[in-house]
Amino acid sequence: MTNTRTRYGTGRRGARGSFRVTIAAAAFAAFALPVGAASAAHDQPAKAKTMLSDLVTGYAPCTAPNTTVSDSLSLPACTPPVRYDSKCGFGGTGSGTVKAVVTGKESRANGDIQVSAKASGITGCEGETLCLVAAFRGTLDNCPEGSCTTIDVPSFIIGSGEQCCVVTGGVCKLKTTVNTVAPGAVNSGKDDGAHVLGWGLQRTTGSPAATGPTFGSGLLVP
């Protein structure tokens, strides 16, 4: 597994004082890509059916460093940190997870991807809508020449309306599938995977608008 810095939305200056690791998970049979058994012309694992990530507050990339982190890495950084979503957050006490599972069988041609999220302790955006969002790069057997790799998809909102959640009592719960959001987008038999560059939850209603994921997949070292 490789750690990456993922850009979403518009680049704004920001860095997180605590250590944040954005998870890049390889071989995710993913959003808007077919799913199948391991028989591709390009290298793929025997299986990669599940992704489960904790959520951290989303912060914008540091594009103009004005300080340095005081540890052994001495990484350039930006202060103050800038959140993608200045309105909606965890408030220091909330938490959440996002999960995706490949379902169905190639023999039945019923492949799909079930995606779900649960977050609690959300502050600042009661009554607002949060949707799943992902950034990924696909490699698949579905081009005229055979195997190919797609361009990076920097921000893919998964669903709208009832496929998302409305923050109620500080809680967001949602569950849907890719084929529910985009019928026919996932098909069995292509053995396609995606390198997921980042995913999480993004607020899609209210003002000011979120410029990237409100909450992104990651780790927190207290």
Local confidence pLDDT in tens for the 222 residues of the chain: 333 333 444 433 443 333 233 323 323 333 334 444 444 578 888 888 899 999 999 999 999 999 999 999 999 999 999 999 999 999 889 999 999 998 877 666 677 889 999 999 999 999 999 999 989 898 888 788 888 899 998 888 888 888 899 999 999 999 998 888 888 777 666 667 778 888 999 999 999 999 999 999 999 998
Write down the pLDDT at residue 191.
64
What are the percentages of helix, strand and coil residues in the chain, rounded to 5? 5, 45, 55
Give the pLDDT of residue 167.
98
Q: How high is the pLDDT of residue 111?
A: 79
Rounded alpha-carbon distances, angstroms, from residue 156 to 37, 131, 135, 136: 25, 10, 6, 8
List the beta strands (DSSP E) in 23-111.
23-28, 50-57, 67-68, 76-77, 95-103
Q: Where are the alpha helices (DSSP H) in the chain?
A: 178-181
Beta carbons within 10 angstroms of residue 50's beta carbon: 11
With beta carbons less than 8 A apart as the criterion, state whether 99 and 52 touch.
yes
